[in-house]
């Protein structure tokens, strides 16, 4: 029996609630979700998952979720999901000192194509710099 | 990388030990206490302050950043 941490349970529960808005009327969803959760929990016991950050685990969860349920691809751009996955990361409006540009303001934050954290920052001279970042 | 047992953390640490061991405590502290992005902003700062160390870290850094423009 594999048991998730309380944080993982809270996180996956919140994502589940949001996912339910997008799968109304799909009777197969609940059993498929339960099966998916077991698969994810098995993954979290593996060496790589044990030795990476919580942020990476959440990004892996989302990547696996969208692979299992392509109809939920909208979750990747759902602000509630982004806030849950990227909790603890710098967010829009935060100022960050980038050694190359000086103090920059984060103007956009999302989940990138490679399932990294995609930031756009405004530099002191007003130009925008965008990069995908991995923890 | 922000996990003491991770492969990346160990690789970065080896390079710090080889090129700039005095920065190791600061590196460990950053990894332990900083938010995700800030560790890498700090590492970016080494580009000008610790050139030799930066050049050794640079190939690993490519695994963490993709610049779009």
pLDDT in tens, A50-109: 878 889 999 999 999 999 999 999 999 999 999 999 998 999 999 999 888 999 999 999
- Would you state the pLDDT for residue B61? 82
Selected residues 1-60 of chain B with any CB under 8 Å from a CB in chain A? 1-3, 5-7, 35-38, 40-41, 44-45, 47-48
Reported pTM = 0.86
CA A36, A76, A67, A43 torsion: positive or negative?
A: negative
Calculate mean pLDDT across residues A100-125.
94
Over residues A110-128, mean pLDDT: 94
Token digits of residue B61: 């850094």
Q: Is A93 within 8 Å of chain B by CB? A: no
CB burial string A63-102: b at 16+ within 10 A, e below: eebbeebeebeebbebeebbebbbeebbeeeeebebeebe
Write out the H or E segment, with its range, that includes residue B6: none
A83 vs A132, more confident: A83
Nearest to A119 by CA among B52, B64, B44, B29: B64
Picking from B3, B45, B65, the nearest residue to A99 by CB comes out as B45
Residue A55 touches partner B, C-beta closer than 8 Å? yes
| Distance between CA atoms of residues B15 and A77, nearest Å | 37
pLDDT the model gives residue A123: 96
Q: Number of CB pairs < 8 Å for A and B?
A: 66
Are residues B48 and A89, on separate chains, in Cβ contact within 8 Å? no
A8-12, A26-30, A80-84, A124-128 — which is least confidently predicted?
Answer: A26-30
pLDDT for res B34: 85
Q: Is the CB of A119 inside 8 Å of chain B's CB atoms?
A: yes
**Interface contact B67, partner A, CB < 8 A:** yes
Instruction: Answer whether B37 sits within 8 Å of A88, measured CB to CB.
Output: no
A2/A116: higher pLDDT: A116
A95-98 and A102-111: which strand pairing? antiparallel
pLDDT of residue B47: 86
Least confidently predicted of A2-6, A34-38, A70-74, B12-16: A2-6
Is the ipTM above a cut-off of 0.90?
A: no
Q: A130 forms bridges with which residues in the sheet?
A: A120
Average pLDDT, chain A: 91
Q: Could you tell me the pLDDT band of residue B4, with boundaries at 50, 70 and 90?
A: low
Structure tokens at B17: 């030990």
Q: Name which of A51, A75, A68 is nearest A135 in CA terms.
A: A51
- The per-residue pLDDT for A1 is 47
């Amino acid at each position: 029996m594999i048991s998730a941490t309380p944080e993982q349970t809270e996180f996956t529960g919140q994502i589940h609630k949001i996912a339910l808005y997008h799968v109304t009327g799909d009777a197969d969803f609940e059993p498929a979700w339960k099966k998916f959760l077991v698969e994810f929990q098995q993954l979290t016991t593996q060496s790589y998952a044990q030795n990476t950050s919580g942020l990476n685990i959440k990004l892996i969860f989302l990547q696996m979720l969208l692979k299992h349920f392509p109809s939920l691809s909208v979750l990747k751009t759902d602000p509630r999901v982004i806030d849950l996955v990227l909790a603890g990361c710098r967010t829009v409006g935060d100022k960050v000192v980038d050694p190359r540009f000086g103090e920059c303001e984060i103007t956009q934050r999302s989940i990138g194509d490679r399932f990294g954290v995609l930031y756009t920052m405004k530099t002191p001279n007003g130009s925008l710099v965008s990069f995908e970042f991995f923890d | 990388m922000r996990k003491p047992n991770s492969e990346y953390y160990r690789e970065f640490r080896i390079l710090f030990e080889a090129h700039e061991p005095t920065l190791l405590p600061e590196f460990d502290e950053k990894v332990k206490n900083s938010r995700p992005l800030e560790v890498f902003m700090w590492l970016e700062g080494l580009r000008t302050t610790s050139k030799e160390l930066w050049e050794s870290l640079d190939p690993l850094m490519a695994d963490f950043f993709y610049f779009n423009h």
